[in-house]
């Protein structure tokens, strides 16, 4: 009887522990970075257009990376302060939590 109780407890612990794993992993990934996905009937911005867009906002762009489908621009503003912009290339929207750093 004791062995059966231990097996049941172990099975329950594994079930509940593993069943919550996708939620925890999903939250970690979701909070890490933005994900930019293609959208129908929306123009796609090229890398050079993203740089031009950043420059049109008054930034000197020194680095462009692609992360999760988004463009991440690094550089400086007119006052020399460091900036980072995350741009969704599908529509050209600046994503939140970007700007001066």
Tell me which of 2-6, 11-15, 20-24, 93-97 is least confident: 20-24
Residues 13-29: pLDDT tens digits? 556 555 554 544 444 44
CA–CA dist 22, 68 (Å, integer): 19
Q: Are 71 and 47 in contact (CB under 8 A)?
A: yes
The residue-averaged pLDDT of 75-94 equals 94
Q: Do 43 and 20 sit in the same domain of this protein?
A: no
Residues 73-83: pLDDT tens digits? 999 999 999 99
Residue (of 90, 82, 35, 34) closest to 61 by Cα position: 82
Model-wide pTM > 0.75: no
Instruction: Give the residue numbers spanning the domain of 56.
Output: 34-101
Dihedral sign of CA atoms 84, 86, 91, 96 in order:
negative
* CATH code (residue 38): 3.10.450
């Amino acid at each position: 009887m004791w062995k059966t109780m231990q097996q049941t407890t172990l099975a329950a612990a594994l079930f509940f522990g593993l069943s919550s794993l996708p939620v925890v992993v999903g939250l970690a990934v979701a909070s890490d970075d933005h994900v930019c996905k293609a959208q129908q009937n929306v123009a796609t911005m090229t890398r050079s257009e993203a740089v031009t867009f950043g420059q049109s906002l008054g930034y000197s762009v020194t680095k462009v990376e692609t992360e999760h489908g988004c463009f991440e621009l690094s550089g400086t503003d007119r006052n020399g302060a460091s900036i980072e912009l995350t741009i969704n290339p599908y529509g050209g929207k600046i994503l939140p939590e970007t700007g001066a750093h």
